[in-house]
């Protein structure tokens, strides 16, 4: 099957499942399409067991899709830019302390808690996972997924201050998490030149450089948008910003995700306000909303289908189920400690800690990082644990974020 046929198949299946969800289930699209993908995968497995075939063909198609490359070096640039495009920069700046604290210190605390806990608990189950690989799992699973979080928050009526903090944290902490993941992966691969100093320098260059590079890209695109008044050309400029800017950031060793977040914030605030006519603003918003929702749907379909490529042995599944409460507890502690110690403003909002813990969804980025691991004895176990945590967060946490957010809003109004 050629590339066009695979793309056509994915888009068609996504459209059908999205339509079924919207017509009958009325779940958030991310959740409905993921469930559809899982059901499709299970149906293919069942069909194979009954002698009808199908699983081998589907597995062959999926192996042609490099999920890590597709997401981390393709779709993610569009999704992060589109997500940042509609976030108010003034609100983000007002809540900069909790956002930056949770996106940095929170990720590090969670990585350590998850890594150490998984190392000890799996040892008790008789599953050997070296400490450095347990920390690797902690690094890839600790950041909240901006794609999943923003998709769910669109429907949840979250208190405004918490919504800004949750969405802002999710946009930044995946870039931080990738840097931490890369540093630990170097250690796992036996990198003798990895020291605390080199990790800090790597972080400053990749993360700090990505932020500055994104601002430069945003300013250049802003000046181009300011100089013309043709919505088709201006949409094309933003497309070039996302595709060319992300590629260039990766080529020069900077964080592409953070660059896209900063560029999206710049264009979404200063650019939309000062460099666009009402007509351009309307067309640009419509274009990026369609791109965002379409790619989101395809991504969550792939998450559901990826179960066909995972070795779901009973022991690995048990490890995955054990990882779920570990990740939730680590999230609770990594959010609660900074909030209490630094007296961050989020603590004043009712249900703040519970909502920030429960809305911390994991998604495609965690799976992509797990799939990017080189072949080893530990890769299969880490991949299964990652998949179980992601599916739990999307199918259990995701649908219940809305009711919890409404309780928080009602409590805030009553107070």
Provide the pLDDT for residue 330. 97
Residue whose C-alpha is closest to residue 256's, from 247, 265, 264:
247
Q: What is the DSSP letter of 52?
A: -
CA distance 150 to 166: 9
DSSP label at residue 349 = S
8 A C-beta contact, residue 386 and residue 365? no
pLDDT of residue 156: 74
Task: Kindly tell me the burial class for residue 403, based on how many C-beta atoms sit within 10 Å of its own C-beta (0-12, 13-18, 19 or more).
Answer: exposed
* pTM attached to this predicted model: 0.91
The answer to whether 329 touches 141, Cβ cutoff 8 Å, is: no
pLDDT tens for the 415 residues of the chain, in order = 788 898 899 999 999 999 999 999 888 888 899 999 999 998 988 887 776 667 777 888 888 888 888 898 889 999 999 999 989 999 899 888 888 888 999 999 999 999 999 999 998 888 889 999 999 999 999 999 888 888 787 777 777 878 888 888 998 888 888 888 988 888 888 766 666 677 778 788 888 999 999 999 999 999 999 999 999 999 999 999 999 999 999 999 999 999 999 999 999 999 999 999 999 999 999 999 999 999 999 999 999 999 988 888 999 999 999 999 999 999 999 998 887 776 655 555 667 888 889 999 999 999 999 999 988 889 999 999 999 999 999 999 999 988 888 887 777 677 6
If one counts every other C-beta atom within 10 angstroms of the C-beta of residue 110, the result is 28
Whole-number pLDDT of residue 68: 87
User: What is the b/e burial string over 132-168, where b = at least 16 CB atoms within 10 angstroms of the residue's CB?
Assistant: bbbbbbbbbbbbbbbbbbbbbbebbebbebbbbbbbb
* SS3 at position 161: helix
* pLDDT at residue number 77: 93
Rg (CA), the chain: 21
């Amino acid at each position: 099957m050629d590339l066009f046929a695979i793309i056509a198949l994915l888009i068609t299946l996504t459209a059908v499942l999205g339509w079924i969800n919207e017509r009958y289930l009325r779940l958030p699209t991310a959740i409905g399409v993921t469930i559809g993908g899982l059901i499709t995968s299970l149906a293919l497995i069942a069909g194979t067991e009954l002698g009808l075939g199908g699983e081998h063909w589907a597995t062959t198609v999926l192996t042609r899709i490099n999920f890590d490359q597709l997401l981390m070096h393709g779709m993610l640039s569009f999704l992060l830019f589109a997500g940042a495009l509609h976030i108010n920069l003034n609100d983000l700046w007002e809540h900069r302390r909790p956002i930056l604290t949770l996106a940095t210190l929170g990720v590090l605390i969670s990585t350590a808690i998850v890594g150490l806990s998984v190392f000890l608990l799996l040892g008790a189950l008789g599953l050997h996972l070296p400490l450095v690989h347990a920390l690797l799992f902690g690094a890839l699973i600790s950041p909240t997924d901006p794609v999943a979080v923003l998709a769910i928050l669109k429907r949840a009526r979250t208190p405004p201050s918490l919504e800004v903090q949750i969405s802002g944290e999710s946009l930044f902490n995946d870039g931080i998490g990738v840097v931490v993941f890369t540093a630990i992966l170097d250690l796992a691969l036996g990198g003798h030149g990895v020291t605390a100093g080199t990790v800090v320098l790597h972080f400053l260059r990749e993360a700090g450089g990505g932020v500055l590079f994104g601002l430069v890209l945003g300013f250049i695109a802003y000046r181009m948008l300011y100089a013309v008044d043709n919505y088709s050309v201006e949409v094309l400029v933003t497309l070039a910003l996302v595709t060319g800017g992300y590629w260039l950031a990766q080529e020069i060793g900077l964080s592409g995700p953070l660059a896209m977040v900063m560029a999206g914030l710049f264009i979404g605030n200063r650019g939309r306000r000062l460099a666009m006519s009402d007509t351009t603003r309307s067309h640009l918003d419509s274009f990026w909303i369609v791109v965002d929702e379409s790619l989101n749907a395809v991504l969550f379909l792939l998450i559901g289908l990826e179960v066909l490529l995972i070795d779901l042995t009973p022991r690995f599944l048990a490890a995955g189920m054990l990882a779920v409460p570990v990740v939730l507890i680590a999230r609770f502690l990594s959010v609660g400690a900074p909030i209490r110690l630094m007296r961050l403003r989020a603590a004043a909002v009712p249900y703040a800690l519970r909502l920030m813990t429960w809305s911390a969804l994991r998604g495609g980025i965690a799976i992509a990082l797990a799939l990017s691991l080189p072949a080893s004895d530990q890769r299969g176990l880490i991949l299964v644990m990652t998949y179980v945590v992601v599916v739990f967060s999307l199918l259990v946490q995701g649908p219940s974020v809305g009711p919890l957010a409404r309780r928080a809003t009602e409590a805030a109004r009553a107070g």
